[in-house]
Structure 1
């Protein structure tokens, strides 16, 4: 799926953008999200659902985890044996004030487990995050190449000694930060150890995005694998799913069994998700 130049961009800059959905898929998923909001009685201006988990599932969007282009790009970036991990659906109405501070995705990791080697050019990070836009999405900002080095002087200044996250409106701005504006059907695949943020100020229009995480079973898991709560996947729940989705979750369960240390990564993540980013 990816050209050599795109693979090199991901390696050195930490991200690559590709069209992954056509107009028919986009319309189908948007309709499914709106229907899910109505059926769930959602009245809030913002919604974030772990759409593969029982009780939170949105059946009509679950097949996106098996979408061929998305799977193929993840395999190009990580290797064969792609395993689904994170899967969340984000919805926000126009007018929502959406701001995160600059950060690396380390919030769930205890201080004594953070390893400086993670932020180096030769570290093999066996995880990729994909943000898939169903509406125009100007929210993701990234500092290209920052996954391959420690925080630089400007970043240290705004992070204030915290290796994880800077205050939401920290000043001065990072001159190296780049805003990635996605059109419907595009996805950005990125290394979430790069310095990045979700930031739009007040949203000018509705935002619907699907966020996925992938791991390759050809390599050892790194500390982001283990987001899904596989203990909730009962035989009855799995039997109720579309066959490709069921097979993807069974592969996740099997991979978790191969790597019991991932249970600790999952516990760290569960502790973190009760403390969301500041979203006004």
Structure 2
């Protein structure tokens, strides 16, 4: 269902598209205050039914048993889809939908990383981190509360690790130790409720707040385009749980989005192994609820 209070953002300008290619991220307003309030109410209602987590939780809110019905239609938000299509091309398919939730006082620290943690070291190709690589995936963080947790090294998706990054990453391309320190080129992305950051997750980035000063409620999405082959990130959602009985209970637009995901997964069964790797990783990094 499309709600009248959803803020539809116009298409990106050529300068914005160029900036995304060069810097690896883009910030746009996608929700107005009424939409933010509606989604917070849905989250709060869901949280009352679940035990509080002692660390940052990751709720995969499209999956049966974890579903937050009042939140699910964010995957059909017209502004998000328009921007994603501008960045990747038509045929946008949802492939990741998580709710990051943490109460004030939770200690939340990740090390600097690229999102290749789910890939065996010997399969990581340095060509992925170059201007010539066509990266068919975009991640989106949409905070419902002020969120200072995302840090990005602009432009790092287009190159190998530099000397300072290599010094803290060591002999891996995946993740630096949490206590490895700051990077000179790292930039903190502070988002206000209803803003969204679209980013290339091959950038060197991290989720880091130290001790949260206020609660964090952020929707995290991923999209793939059917116009190009999948990267190693396609396959985040657990499509085996999307039975016809479950799909029949969903809002029509949400159901159609998940059916499009199922059709694309059927075209690319090779990504199932990356789904398994991804699930293993998030269990280590988050309390999955």
**TM-score category by the smaller chain?**
over 0.9
Structure-to-structure mapping, 1:193-272, within 5 angstroms? 193-272=202-281
Distance 1:194-1:277 versus aligned 2 partners, 3 A rule: farther
**CA offsets, 1:243-268, max 9 Å, x none?**
00000000000001111212222222
Instruction: Please say if 1:143 is aligned against 2:141.
Output: no
Distance 1:36-1:277 versus aligned 2 partners, 3 A rule: closer
The residue number in structure 1 matching 2:4 is: none
SS for the counterpart of 1:76 is helix
Output the CA distance in 2 between the equivalents of 1:44 and 1:164.
26
Output the CA distance in 2 between the equivalents of 1:266 and 1:200.
27
Output the CA distance in 1 between the equivalents of 2:147 and 2:132.
32
TM-score of the pair, normalised by structure 2: 0.93
Instruction: Please say if 1:27 is aligned against 2:29.
Output: no
Structure-to-structure mapping, 1:54-69, within 5 angstroms? 54-69=64-79
**Residue 176 of structure 1, aligned match among 182, 185, 189:** 185
TM-score of the pair, normalised by structure 1: 0.96
The residue number in structure 1 matching 2:5 is: none
Instruction: Please say if 1:84 is aligned against 2:94.
Output: yes
Q: Cα offset for 1:18?
A: 0.3
> CA RMSD for the aligned pairs?
1.2
Instruction: Please say if 1:186 is aligned against 2:185.
Output: no
Instruction: Please say if 1:43 is aligned against 2:43.
Output: no
Q: Cα offset for 1:152?
A: 0.3
SS for the counterpart of 2:217 is strand
Q: Note the residue ranges of structure 2 that are not aligned, 5 or more in a row.
A: 1-10
Q: Cα offset for 1:277?
A: 6.2
Output the CA distance in 1 between the equivalents of 2:149 and 2:285.
17
Output the CA distance in 1 between the equivalents of 2:283 and 2:101.
18
Structure-to-structure mapping, 1:70-81, within 5 angstroms? 70-81=80-91
Does the 8 A contact of 1:89 with 1:208 survive in 2? yes
SS for the counterpart of 1:205 is coil
Would you say how many aligned residue pairs link Structure 1 and Structure 2? 276
Q: Note the residue ranges of structure 1 that are not aligned, 5 or more in a row.
A: none
**CA offsets, 1:14-73, max 9 Å, x none?**
000000001110000011101100123x22344320000001111110000000000001
